[in-house]
Structure 1
Amino acid sequence: MKTTPLLRAGLALALALPVAAFAANVPQSFTATYRVLQGGKPLGDATITLKSVGGGQYEYSNQTKGTGGLAAAMGANVSEISRFAWSGMVPSAISYHYQLDSSFKSKTRDVTIQGNTVQVQDTKKSYSYAAVPNMVERNTLPLALGVALAAGRQQVTFPVAVKQAVENQSFEVSGKEKVTVPAGSFDAQRVDRADQAATFSAWYVPTKYPVPVKLAPKDGGDLTLELVSFKGN
């Protein structure tokens, strides 16, 4: 399945300062469940949770368990845990931990922001590069998009901390489409990656949910996530 979480103390304290002013405009906690499909066939279940951990910081986790096909046979499970602080309406990254466990292989990635530097430990390889303000990372990117859409944005660019650099990734609303998922049928806004060809598509109902009702990251091996339930805590 996929990856994502990031950051640390001094920067987190600075980013936490504007939280109170924007608290009413950003989600504080929720649990969303998804079914994961590969090529239209059941592959697993994912649970996404947002919660406050105090000190102006939040934890955003994505726990995916393989329940079908090869993923079930391999006992594959993926955990992505992000720490961030709301900076305005952006979930600014603090730290990210990714872990894949299966009978075939294990893989980890940790991303931590220390001062002005992003430190990455990718299993046995290490990388570092300069941090920029208001970065997000792969796990929290769909949340960042949902909050931007709820604020009325039709186009948005985020600096995204990836393995060896910060990428400026641009997204735009490409139209409205009828989407039917286990959670229901929706008139959704379709969002596509605008700076690369067909690497990301997501369908949002920003008046109801801060996360997509359907997500299709094209670099993930023909994977699709479909919303099953959403509960604001």
Structure 2
Amino acid sequence: MTIRPLLAPLLGLGLLLGARTAPAATPGAFTATYNVSQGGQPMGVATVTLRAAGNGEWIYGKDVKGTGGLAALLGASVTESSRFRWKGDVPEAISYDYQMQAAVKAKQRHLVADWSKNRVTVDEGKGPRSYPTSPGMVERNTLPLALGLALRDGKRQVALPVAVRQEVQVQHFKVTGKENVKVPAGSFAAQRVDRTDADRGFSAWYAPDRYPLPVKLSQHDGGDMVMELVSYRAD
């Protein structure tokens, strides 16, 4: 089972286009749940959390449990955990851990940003790779959060520097319209966001005046995966 996070990243605050001069406050702790489907079939449940870790750092986690179809049969699960610090309203990466477990396959990734040396190290079990950091850099797990906060601040085009396997990749997103979206959490007049610099089949729908996370996202890279918001609470 491939569970890829949602959306793409920001080369510092200067690359946020159409920004307000004074960003609003960053979100406090929360818990959100999503239904996950693939190819139109129920696949699992995702729980997304944000909590303070002390010393000005935060932990953003995503746990996906396979509850339907092949994912349930294989006992598949995906756990992602990000540690970051706020740079303005951008969750600047400190570390990221990814683990996928299933009966027939396991996969992991460990990423660390050493800001004292301005180096990122990525290890997927085949030896570490290293490359330079970039100010305001996020990673794939915190990407949807960074994008949601940019939309909340009134931006309609966003460029985010994202730490991937071999480099920091600047990814570009744009609000492409408003659409009415119905998910288990309710009905929303949502802003649709699409990635504009790559044909990845990615779309996300946000209600940025309500939540910093998407109410729905659809991604076709690695399978027709859809996540729909079930609940959101401030902790």
Question: What amino acid maps onto 1:116 in structure 2?
Answer: N
Question: What amino acid maps onto 1:36 in structure 2?
Answer: V
Residue deviations 1:210-233 (CA, integer Å, cap 9, x gap)? 000001122131100000000011
**Aligned-residue RMSD, C-alpha:** 1.4
Residue deviations 1:16-58 (CA, integer Å, cap 9, x gap)? xxxxxx8961112100000000011100000000000100100
**2:106 aligned partner:** 106
**1:82 aligned partner:** 82
Number of aligned positions between the proteins: 216
**2:149 aligned partner:** 147
Change (3 A) 1:155 1:45: same
**1:16 aligned partner:** none
Q: Any conservation in 2 of the 1:35–1:44 contact (CA below 8 Å)? A: yes
**1:220 aligned partner:** 222
TM-score, normalised via structure 2 length: 0.89
**2:49 aligned partner:** 49
Secondary structure at the aligned position of 2:221 is classed as helix
Which runs of at least 4 in structure 1 moved beyond 6 Å after TM superposition?
A: none
Moved more, 214-223 or 184-193: 214-223
**2:212 aligned partner:** 210
Q: Distance in 2 between matches of 1:216 and 1:164?
A: 25
Equivalence map 1:53-202=2 (5 Å): 53-114=53-114, 115-202=117-204
Q: Any conservation in 1 of the 2:23–2:153 contact (CA below 8 Å)? A: no
Secondary structure at the aligned position of 1:195 is classed as coil
Structure having greater relative contact order (Cα 8 Å, sep ≥ 6):
2
Deviation at 1:135, TM superposition (A): 0.2
Q: Distance in 1 between matches of 2:120 and 2:200?
A: 28
Question: What amino acid maps onto 1:70 in structure 2?
Answer: L
TM-score, normalised via structure 1 length: 0.89
Q: Any conservation in 2 of the 1:3–1:98 contact (CA below 8 Å)? A: no
Change (3 A) 1:86 1:168: same
Q: Any conservation in 2 of the 1:201–1:218 contact (CA below 8 Å)? A: no
Percent identity, aligned pairs only, is 55
Q: Any conservation in 1 of the 2:24–2:153 contact (CA below 8 Å)? A: no
Change (3 A) 1:23 1:54: farther
Matched, 1:2 2:7: no
Deviation at 1:204, TM superposition (A): 0.1
Moved more, 141-150 or 195-204: 195-204
Question: What amino acid maps onto 1:163 in structure 2?
Answer: R
Q: Any conservation in 2 of the 1:97–1:108 contact (CA below 8 Å)? A: yes
**Structure having the larger proportion of residues in helix:** 1
Mind listing any 5+ residue stretches in structure 2 that lack a counterpart? 6-21
Deviation at 1:198, TM superposition (A): 4.2
Q: Distance in 1 between matches of 2:24 and 2:196?
A: 29
**1:14 aligned partner:** none
